[in-house]
Amino acid sequence: MRPITSFGIVAFSECPHLHEVVNRICAWSRSQKVPVILHPFFKNIVPKDLPAAVADDEKSLISSSDAVISVGGDGTFLSVAHLCRFTQKPVVGINLGGLGFLTDIGPENLETSLQKISEGRYSIISRMVLEAYLTRQSSKLCTFNALNDIFINRINIPKLASISAWYGKDFIADYYADGIIVATPSGSTAYSLSCGGPIVDPGVNAILLTPISPHSLNERPLVLPADKPVRLRINEKNPDLLLSADGLDSTRLQSGDEITVSYGGVSTNLIQLAEQSYFSLLRTKLSWGKGSKRETDPA
C-alpha cells in the first residue's frame, strides 16, 4: 500500500490514558517527521508545547490527513467513520475502550503500528455501509448512513411496537417487539448480537434483520442478501419510537412512517495491520474456546 504521510488524530472524550497516548503519538511524529493534526476537541485539553497543530475545524482536519486515527473505543470509531462521511479516506483505531472490534491498534504497540502504516506496510479492508431514508406521507424526509446498524427502538413508553417488514417486494412479517435492528455484518457483533442475532463474517454482503425482545419466540433473526432493500412500516397510532443510525444520528417516528434500508455499494476503508482471521478476532474478543490449547488445525 502507499505510505501514509500525515495523520488526523480524533477523540471525543477524555477517556483513561488519552493524554498518554496523544503524547506518544506526538513524540513519534516529531522523531519520524510525519506530521499529525489534532481534532478541535484537543484545543483545551492538551499541553501547549505538544509538537502538533490543532485543526480549526473538522473539514480542515480531514482534508489535511492521508488517514484518520480514532482514539477510543468502537463508539469513537463509528463517529470518525461518520466524520469522514464514508469516503475512501482510510481510518484506523487505537483501542482505549472495551472489546474494540473495529479498532486495530493497542496502546502496547502504538509506535510500531504507526511506523508500519507510515511506511505502507498495511492492508485496506472495506466494510459495507447501509443507507436508510425515512418517508412520511409520500415525502422523503431524511437520509442516514450506518456502518453498524439502523435500528428502531422505543423511547419512553414500555409497550410493544408494531412494525411491518418487507424484503424487496416480499412481505416478511408484522413484528411485535421493543423494536427492530437492520445491521451490516460489521454490526453483527454489536447491538444485533446482544439481541440474539447471528455473527456474520464482514466479507459477506448481507443485511441482518433482528427483532428487539419480540413478543413471539417464533420471530427469529434473518440474514438476507444485500441486493434488495428492507422496508419497515410503523403501524402504531401514537408511537414513541426513535430511528437511529449507529446510535449517532436519530429522529422520532410517527404512525405510517416507512423506512427503506439498502446497500448501494458505499463502503468505509479500514486500515488493517495484522493478517488475522475473523475467527481469531472472535476468539480474542469474545473468549471463544478459552482454555483450549488448539490454535491451528492439526492436519
| pLDDT bucket at 293, cuts 50 / 70 / 90 | low
| Range scoring the smallest mean pLDDT among 77-91, 116-130, 210-224, 256-270 | 77-91
- Residue 49's pLDDT is what? 61
- Residue 47's pLDDT is what? 62
Question: Is the pLDDT at 232 greater than 80, yes or no?
Answer: yes
Grid cell at residue 261: 434500508
Q: Which residue intervals of the chain bear CATH 3.40.50.10330?
A: 7-122+273-286
Q: Are strands 149-154 and 179-183 parallel, antiparallel or unpaired?
A: antiparallel
- Residue 50's pLDDT is what? 63
Question: Is the pLDDT at 99 greater than 80, yes or no?
Answer: no
C-alpha 271 chain-centroid distance:
14
Question: Is the pLDDT at 31 greater than 80, yes or no?
Answer: yes
With 0.75 as the threshold, say if the pTM is over it. Answer: yes
- Residue 78's pLDDT is what? 94
Mean pLDDT of the chain: 90
Query: What's the rounded mean pLDDT across residues 60-76?
Result: 93
- Dihedral sign, CA of 213, 216, 221, 226? negative
The yes-or-no answer on residue 74 being catalytic is yes
Q: Which residue intervals of the chain bear CATH 2.60.200.30?
A: 129-266
Catalytic residue from among 49, 66, 74, 104: 74
> Hunting for cell 475473523 — which residue is that?
278
Of 283 and 274, the structure prediction assigns the larger pLDDT to 283
Domain 129-266 has CATH 3.90.1300.10: no
- Residue 182's pLDDT is what? 98
Which pairs from 158-166 meet CB under 8 Å and 24+ separation?
Answer: 160/215, 161/234, 161/236, 161/239, 161/241, 162/234, 162/235, 162/236, 163/232, 163/233, 163/234, 163/235, 164/232, 164/233, 164/235, 165/209, 165/230, 165/231, 165/232, 165/233, 166/230, 166/231, 166/232
Of 274 and 270, the structure prediction assigns the larger pLDDT to 270
- Residue 271's pLDDT is what? 94
Could you name the CATH architecture of 7-122+273-286?
Answer: 3-Layer(aba) Sandwich (3.40)
Query: What's the rounded mean pLDDT across residues 97-116?
Result: 87
Query: What's the rounded mean pLDDT across residues 144-148?
Result: 96
